[in-house]
Amino acid sequence: MINIKEDERLSVLNHSCAHLLAQAVKHLYPSAKFWVGPVIEEGFYYDIDLGDEVIKDEDLEKIEKEMKKIAKDGKRIIREEISKEEALARFKDDPYKIDLISRMDEKQTVISCYSQGDFTDLCRGPHVESVKELKYFKLLKFSGAYFKGDSKNKMLQRIYGICFDNEEDLKNHLQELEEAAMRDHRKIGKEQEIFMTHDLVGKGMPLWLPNGAIIRKQLENYIYEKEKKLGYLHVYTPCVGTVDLYKTSGHWDHYQENMFPSMKVDDEEFVLRPMNCPHHMLIYGNKIHSYRDLPIRIGEFATDFRYEASGAVKGLERVRCMCQNDAHLFVTKEQIGDEFKKVVSLILDVYKDFGIKNYKFRLSLRDPSDKEKYFDDDEMWNNAENKLRAVLNDLGCSYHEAIGEAAFYGPKLDVEVKPAVGPEVTLSTCQLDFLLPRRFDLSYIDSNGEKQVPVVLHRAIFGTFDRFTAFIIEELKGVFPLWLAPTQLNVIPVNPLVHGEYASKLKEELQNFDIRVNLDDRNEKLSYRMREAQISKIPYSIIIGDKEIEEDTISYRRYKEPNTHTLPKAEFIKFILDKIENKE
Ligand code: TSB
Ligand code: ZN
């Protein structure tokens, strides 16, 4: 999908369209006041104070109609430069504009305004010459948005829209949006009963339904087996820790705004943990280690809680209660490169298995000129950063470097993906950490019998099961491969009254092989039930009639394929089990 912000012409068009929107709103709601109306990747929006009014679907149509009328009128857009005093006087009745003007740089004595007919807005520009140029636009949606993004402030009405140069581009874009909305994991998640939310549980706290739980369990088994083969040691730890634990790790001082508030129990003060590293540090520290034991890889499917802004939580993709596919790898300085390579190879391996192709590696490095911002050990930084680069080059991964984006404690690699709707998110991550092992006073004995501090790699291949599931639902458009599908086979007796009992026994027999089966013995026409099986995206449908019962065979049809095939029952079971085993 096109990024409007990156295209100069579209950027100007969308910006002018935001003014057109504001003008139309002003006509329809004379007391409306306006905060900001920026261009964004997806078009533009405007944050508007409508008093007590809340925008509804039908209002969008009304506003759009008014925008069309103004555009047809064809007023020129005129730039004017005025002094700060003049601006303060002109916008004196608009507290939002006064807020903007008074926060402008002291040195900025001249302020630009753009007028079109009866509407003037404070703006840096540039704009199109005339509103006549705004022909191919659409208002897309609306939402509430707190003034300055702060939930203590008033809720404004945010209206989103998009504008193009010609009808075809607009049409294509709207079609793409429609297709994206169809893939949205929140829509599919509801239709396929994968997860739900409930106000009584709370925002950003999804409940995984039985179908979602099956998918998650398969993902857990899949990654557990991979990690086990790579020498990971899996642990279970509590999803709370004391405030002192997080003071020791530094999260209390540097990460508290992302944490739930603490709670007192007897004489202890707990927090819901936002990360698992501190627990894993203590596990490492539970024993004395020799250099020969390293790397030590401690893994956990660990539940974490983070405070995410209520406007940011989104289905399974951004939650407040999540389960990380986490591990902390304890290595010597010399092992950084090798271990990092193993992590990146695992990421590539997993993405290949899931057919994930659209992703970007982002290597966050320190800004060497900003010494204050980073853990002070030049040699460590240079050595680590060079090794990370070398590994990525070695594995033929293309990546972009984000200078100055490293954490205080080390460089990191993130894998960014684009969800169906909304901005890019990080899926996998691998972060080097020179500091945390020091804060927990961790060590190993080197070959000279001396104490050394290990380096830690924090890594999550799926990221969280939550975000990964959201992502694959969208990638697969809700059509899961056999091994992941909540229901793998649909058994359909031709006539439930005649073939129902046999079908029911067959279901049990298949279930005994660990195959997930649904029996559709509803009193509906065969054609109707076959169609339903297609809609529900179950990978295989089995049709049981007289012939199949007599000959002990199975007639099956693959999802989306027109032909039915027949196999002896035992062969069919083997065929299906092979496909599950091989994750076809
Ligand atoms: C990898 N301590 C490390 C860990 O050892 C850590 O917590 N890293 S993290 O903060 O980057 O989180 C790991 C992954 O969790 C991210 O890469 C992202 O994929 C996922 N994640 C982060 N926040 C959320 C959220 N609110 N909802 C769903 N998934 C999230
Ligand atoms: Zn960690």
Residue-wise pLDDT tens digits, 326-367: 999 999 999 999 999 999 999 999 999 999 999 999 999 999
The more confidently predicted of residues 284 and 122 is 284
Check pLDDT > 90 for residue 211: yes
pLDDT of residue 83: 86
Query: What is the share, in percent, of the chain residues with pLDDT greater than 70?
Result: 99
Residue-wise pLDDT tens digits, 157-179: 999 999 999 999 999 999 999 99
Whether residue 28 is found in the same domain as residue 78: yes
Residue 209 resides in a domain: yes
User: Which residues, 6+ apart, have CB-to-CB distance to 97 below 8 Å?
Assistant: 34, 87, 91, 122
Give the containing element (helix H, strand E) for 116.
Answer: strand 110-116
Whether residue 439 is found in the same domain as residue 563: no
Determine the Cα–Cα distance for residues 515 and 539; give it in Å rounded to an integer.
12
Q: Which residue owns the Cα nearest ligand 1 atom 3?
A: 458
Query: What value does the mean pLDDT take over residues 271-299?
Result: 97
Terminal C-alpha separation, the chain: 30
Query: What value does the mean pLDDT take over residues 301-315?
Result: 94
Determine the Cα–Cα distance for residues 574 and 583; give it in Å rounded to an integer.
14
Question: Which residue, of 447, 476, 505, is where some domain finishes?
Answer: 476
Cα 79 to middle of ligand 2, angstroms: 52
Whether residue 153 is found in the same domain as residue 288: no
Residues with a catalytic annotation lie at: 277, 306, 324, 326, 328, 412, 458
Whether residue 333 is found in the same domain as residue 440: yes
Cβ atoms 202, 442 nearer than 8 A: no
Reduce the secondary structure of 503-533 to three states and give it as a string. HHHHHHHHHHCCCCEEECCCCCCHHHHHHHH
Tell me the ligand closest to 471's alpha carbon: 1
Q: Is the CB of 347 under 6 A from ligand 1?
A: no
Q: Is 149 left (phi over 0), alpha (psi -120 to 50) or beta?
A: left
pLDDT of residue 52: 85
Determine the Cα–Cα distance for residues 188 and 195; give it in Å rounded to an integer.
9
Cα 279 to middle of ligand 2, angstroms: 9
pLDDT of residue 122: 85
Atom of ligand 1 nearest to the CA of 328: 5
What mean pLDDT is reported for the chain? 94
Residue 312 resides in a domain: yes
Question: What phi and psi values does residue 207 have, to the nearest 5 degrees?
Answer: -105, 125
Check pLDDT > 70 for residue 567: yes
**Which CA distances in Å does 23 have to 37, 141, 206, 337?**
12, 18, 40, 58
Check pLDDT > 80 for residue 260: yes
Classify each residue of 522-532 as buried b or exposed e, where b means 16 or more C-beta atoms within 10 Å of its C-beta: eeeeeeebbeb
Number of domains in the chain: 3
Whether residue 350 is found in the same domain as residue 496: no
Tell me the ligand closest to 318's alpha carbon: 1
Whether residue 355 is found in the same domain as residue 461: yes
Check pLDDT > 70 for residue 392: yes
pLDDT of residue 27: 94
Residue-wise pLDDT tens digits, 9-61: 999 999 999 999 999 999 999 989 999 999 999 999 999 999 888 888 899 99
Check pLDDT > 90 for residue 571: yes
Residue-wise pLDDT tens digits, 480-520: 999 999 999 999 999 999 999 999 999 999 999 999 999 99
Q: Is the CB of 323 under 6 A from ligand 1?
A: no
Q: Which residue owns the Cα nearest ligand 1 atom 27?
A: 318
Determine how many CB atoms are found less than 10 A away from the CB of residue 239: 14
Check pLDDT > 70 for residue 456: yes
Q: Hey, what amino acid is at 230?
A: L
Cβ atoms 325, 223 nearer than 8 A: yes
Query: What value does the mean pLDDT take over residues 369-381?
Result: 85
The pTM (predicted TM-score) of the whole model is 0.89
Residue 149 resides in a domain: yes
Query: What is the share, in percent, of the chain residues with pLDDT greater than 90?
Result: 79
Whether residue 134 is found in the same domain as residue 210: no
Cα 10 to middle of ligand 1, angstroms: 34
* DSSP-derived secondary structure letter, 59: H
- Probe ligand 1: pick from 356, 426, 455, 465, max atoms within 8 Å of CB? 426
If we measure between CA atoms, which residue out of 322, 325, 324, 302 comes closest to residue 227? 325
* DSSP-derived secondary structure letter, 442: -
Range of the domain at 535: 489-581
Whether residue 66 is found in the same domain as residue 201: no
Residue 258 resides in a domain: no
Q: Which residue owns the Cα nearest ligand 1 atom 14?
A: 463
Output the six-digit token pair for 472. Answer: 């694959």
Whether residue 294 is found in the same domain as residue 439: yes
Q: Is the CB of 416 under 6 A from ligand 1?
A: no
CATH code at position 567: 3.40.50.800
Question: Which residue, of 418, 443, 476, is where some domain finishes?
Answer: 476
Q: Is 345 helix (H, G, I), strand (E, B) or coil?
A: helix
Cβ atoms 366, 383 nearer than 8 A: no
Residue 249 resides in a domain: no
Q: Is the CB of 456 under 6 A from ligand 1?
A: no
Q: Which residue owns the Cα nearest ligand 1 atom 4?
A: 458
User: Which residues, 6+ apart, have CB-to-CB distance to 557 below 8 Å?
Assistant: 530, 540, 541, 543, 563, 564, 565
pLDDT of residue 106: 62
Check pLDDT > 80 for residue 8: yes
Whether residue 64 is found in the same domain as residue 91: yes
- Maximum pairwise Cα distance, the chain: 94
Whether residue 8 is found in the same domain as residue 135: yes
pLDDT of residue 274: 97
Q: Is the CB of 306 under 6 A from ligand 1?
A: yes
Cβ atoms 353, 226 nearer than 8 A: no
Reduce the secondary structure of 371-404 to three states and give it as a string. HHHCCCCHHHHHHHHHHHHHHHHHCCCCEEEEEC
CATH code at position 397: 3.30.930.10
Classify each residue of 459-469 as buried b or exposed e, where b means 16 or more C-beta atoms within 10 Å of its C-beta: bbbbbbbbbbb
Residue 264 resides in a domain: no
Whether residue 304 is found in the same domain as residue 334: yes
Reduce the secondary structure of 129-147 to three states and give it as a string. CEHHHCCEEEEEEEEEEEH
pLDDT of residue 368: 86
Determine the Cα–Cα distance for residues 33 and 116; give it in Å rounded to an integer.
17
